[in-house]
């Protein structure tokens, strides 16, 4: 436990400046929060509390609850420092603050302390490592699912190029069930540079593609393996596919490819098994 449970502060006016960071969530998702993010739901709130306690670079600035949810999250609230204010509101005020019906009734305004350095993260990885690399992922649901898969199969880091979407977007965090807060990640530079850095660090890089040369079940074990996923629809550019080894997932004829997060889940499971990670 971090300390005594702070007293909940009632909000009766959606324009109260104390909860400005929670106002019009969907619009703010689009315009940005200057390093802040929204954690939504009880499970994600618990993950944020754990990340806050563990010093993983994430912290909570404020918590907003639907009044009837307060009793059910008391144990989670005790894990935050007393300095983190807890606000409660009735359903009408809560929805007016959020800008739409928020039936979950549990929100936290989080902060990420600095952007992680990609090269420093790669340098910090253990001798036996599994990395999920992503190029041009633009769908926030898929991004969240990639992180959920990464957490499930023991990925040490998720590395994205600069064209991929921000995993701390509210929906990505929610779909990841909080895994964005637990799996180390960096989003920086071009995919070409990312591949170069991973190769220099001794990673066997496998690009996943329906036209891959090797069946996913035939990827050999290696101390360091990186799976590279391409953008939704088009997949990895041909110029990238020719610079790395490629693997495919067998499937029935008639469909050109799997959803990127589904493909990542299958591939990560296979590679994790090959390397005795699960």
Cα–Cα distance between 224 and 228 in angstroms, integer?
Answer: 13
CA distance 11 to 90: 8
Count: domains in the chain: 2
Same domain, 81 and 147: no
Provide the domain limits for residue 123: 118-274
Indicate whether 141 and 267 sit together in one domain.
yes
* Position 147 in a domain: yes
In a domain, 3, yes or no: no
Average model confidence (pLDDT) across the chain? 90
Query: What CATH number is given to the structural domain containing 95?
Result: 3.30.1330.30
Domain contains 156: yes
Q: Which of 92, 112, 132 is the last residue of a domain?
A: 112
In a shared domain, residues 168 and 219: yes
- Residue 115: is its pLDDT beyond 60? yes
Neighbours of 278 (CB within 10 A): 11
User: How long is the chain?
Assistant: 278
Q: The domain that contains 189 carries what CATH number? A: 3.40.1280.10
pLDDT category of residue 197 using cuts at 50, 70 and 90:
very high
Domain boundary among 65, 94, 112: 112
Do 181 and 233 fall into the same domain? yes
Angle CA(16)–CA(7)–CA(33) in degrees, nearest 5? 45
Is the same domain home to 45 and 139?
Answer: no
Spatial strand order in the sheet of 36-40? 8-10, 86-89, 58-66, 106-112, 36-40
Name beta bridge partners: 225: 130, 204
Q: What's the CA gap between 145 and 14, in Å, rounded? A: 33
**94 and 140 belong to one structural domain:** no
In the prediction, which pLDDT does 5 show? 46
DSSP 179-207: GGGTS-EEE-S-HHHHHHHHHHTTPEEEE
88, β-bridge pairs? 10, 65
44-61 burial, b at 16+ Cβ within 10 Å, e below that, comes to bbbbbbbbbeeebebbbe
State the average pLDDT over residues 14-23. Answer: 92
The string of pLDDT tens digits covering residues 132-141 is 999 999 999 9
In a shared domain, residues 142 and 198: yes
- Which of 70, 89, 112 is the endpoint of a domain? 112
pTM: 0.90
C-alpha 54/C-alpha 223 separation (Å) is 27
């Amino acid at each position: 436990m971090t300390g005594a449970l702070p007293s909940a502060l009632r909000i009766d006016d959606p324009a109260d400046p104390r909860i400005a960071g929670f106002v019009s969530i969907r619009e703010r998702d689009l315009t940005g929060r200057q390093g802040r993010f929204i954690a939504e739901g009880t499970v994600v709130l618990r993950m944020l509390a754990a990340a806050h306690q563990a010093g993983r670079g994430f912290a909570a600035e404020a918590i907003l609850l639907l009044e009837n949810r307060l009793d059910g999250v008391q144990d989670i609230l005790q894990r935050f420092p007393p300095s983190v204010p807890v606000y409660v509101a009735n359903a009408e005020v809560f929805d007016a603050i959020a800008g739409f019906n928020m039936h979950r009734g549990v929100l936290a305004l989080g902060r990420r302390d600095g952007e992680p350095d990609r090269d420093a993260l790669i340098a910090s990885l253990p001798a036996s490592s599994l990395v999920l690399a992503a190029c041009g992922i633009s769908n926030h649901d898929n991004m969240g699912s990639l992180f959920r898969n990464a957490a499930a199969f023991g990925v040490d880091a998720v590395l994205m190029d600069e064209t991929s979407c921000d995993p701390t977007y509210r929906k990505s965090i929610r779909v990841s069930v909080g895994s964005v807060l637990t799996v180390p990640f960096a989003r920086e530079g071009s995919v070409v540079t990312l591949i170069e850095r991973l190769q220099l660090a001794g990673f066997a890089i496998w690009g996943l593609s329906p036209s891959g040369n090797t069946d996913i079940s035939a990827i050999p074990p290696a101390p360091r393996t990186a799976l590279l996923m391409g953008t939704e629809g088009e997949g990895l550019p041909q110029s990238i596919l020719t610079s790395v080894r490629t693997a495919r997932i067998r499937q029935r004829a008639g469909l050109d490819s799997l959803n990127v997060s589904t493909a990542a889940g299958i591939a990560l499971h296979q590679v994790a098994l090959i390397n005795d990670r699960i």
